[in-house]
């Protein structure tokens, strides 16, 4: 017997109310492998079957290089288990850069969208598709309705979304800094940080580093760290170099030297 429109509407309203109240519990998490980060996240790790928001600072609002790199490292373990899709507005996704982060760019499905509305629609469709484990999308702004639709799509098949806030070049300044998308499970602010040389005497380049702030976490608490890429540490290949307290380095680990 077909379900009547009022019943379907009531069911959707109940789902939305549960989202707003934060009563849904993710089926699984992906731990960073460091309690300083994991303890700030509900369940002890990055919630899967949800979507997460990443935003940059300064010029990063337009280039989104640092947020995209951290999002790729977060999504990398999921991309190894199923299909991954990246939706962008500008055709400047750098495949060699993704390879340097250990993300198999050749296995990535890339989609170029005309505007934010189309990008969000593609993300929603992909998240609701069987076999897609991770969807990354570059969007200037997202409102609450679109955020709820993304979350419902994540719950449909268990996919995890990473929404990278990126303002198109030449567009009105300031839009990307607005508070939107409160349906996100977490909100991260990413900025580049100086790399630490493994041997200053030789002038060798160290692994890439980022200043990472967890501004909002549903069911968790904020936190801030300096992270660097480290293939030997955790599923995300992200290692805490230092905690940040009041904007300053709270404690740093010694630089590990090769050999």
pLDDT tens-digit map of 62-115: 899 999 999 999 999 998 888 999 999 888 888 888 888 988 877 799 999 999
Degrees (nearest 5) of the Cα angle 187, 29, 136? 50
* pLDDT reading at 20 higher than 60: no
Q: Which pLDDT belongs to residue 201?
A: 56
pLDDT at 5: 55
Q: How many CA atoms lie within 13 A of 248 on its CB side?
A: 2
Could you report the per-residue pLDDT of 106-139, keeping only the tens digit for each?
779 999 999 999 999 999 999 999 999 999 999 9
Predicted confidence band at 235 (pLDDT cuts at 50, 70, 90)? confident
Take residue 141 and report the two structure tokens written for it.
């702004």
Look at residue 24 and tell me whether its pLDDT is greater than 60. Answer: no
* 49, 130, 134 from 153: Cα distances, Å: 9, 11, 12
Question: What is the residue whose two structure tokens read 């509900």?
Answer: 42
Ranges of each domain in the chain: 26-252
Looking at every residue in the chain, the average pLDDT score rounds to 82
Cβ-proximal residues to 143 (8 Å cutoff; 6+ apart), any chain: 180, 181
- Model confidence band, residue 217 (pLDDT cutoffs 50, 70, 90): very high
Q: Per CATH, which fold does 26-252 belong to? A: Rossmann fold (3.40.50)
What's the pLDDT at 9? 54
Answer yes or no: is pLDDT of 21 > 60: no
The Cβ of residue 240 has, within 10 Å, a number of other Cβ atoms equal to 23
pLDDT tens digits for range 177-202: 445 447 899 999 999 999 876 665 56
Res 256 pLDDT > 60: no
């Amino acid at each position: 017997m077909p379900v009547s429109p009022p019943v379907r509407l009531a069911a959707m309203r109940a789902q939305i109310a549960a989202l707003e109240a934060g009563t849904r519990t993710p089926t699984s998490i992906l731990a960073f492998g460091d309690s300083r980060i994991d303890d700030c996240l509900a369940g002890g790790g990055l919630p899967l079957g949800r979507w997460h928001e990443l935003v940059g600072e300064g010029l990063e609002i337009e280039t989104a290089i640092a947020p995209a790199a951290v999002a790729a490292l977060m999504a990398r373990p999921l991309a190894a288990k199923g299909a991954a899709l990246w939706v962008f507005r500008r055709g400047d996704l750098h495949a060699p850069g993704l390879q340097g982060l250990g993300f198999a760019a050749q296995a990535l499905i890339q989609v170029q969208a005309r505007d934010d509305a189309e990008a969000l629609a593609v993300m929603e469709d992909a998240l609701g598709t069987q076999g897609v484990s991770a969807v990354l999308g570059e969007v200037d702004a997202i409102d609450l309705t679109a955020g709820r639709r993304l979350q419902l799509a994540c719950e449909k098949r268990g996919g995890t979304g990473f929404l990278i806030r990126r303002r198109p070049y030449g567009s009105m300044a300031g839009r990307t800094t607005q508070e939107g998308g409160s349906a996100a499970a977490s909100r991260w602010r990413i900025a580049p940080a100086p790399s630490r040389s493994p041997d200053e005497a030789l002038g060798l380049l160290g692994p890439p580093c980022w200043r990472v702030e967890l501004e909002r976490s549903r069911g968790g608490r904020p936190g801030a760290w300096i992270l660097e890429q480290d293939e030997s540490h955790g599923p995300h290949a992200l290692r805490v170099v230092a905690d940040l307290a009041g904007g300053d380095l709270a404690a740093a680990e010694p630089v590990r030297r090769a050999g």
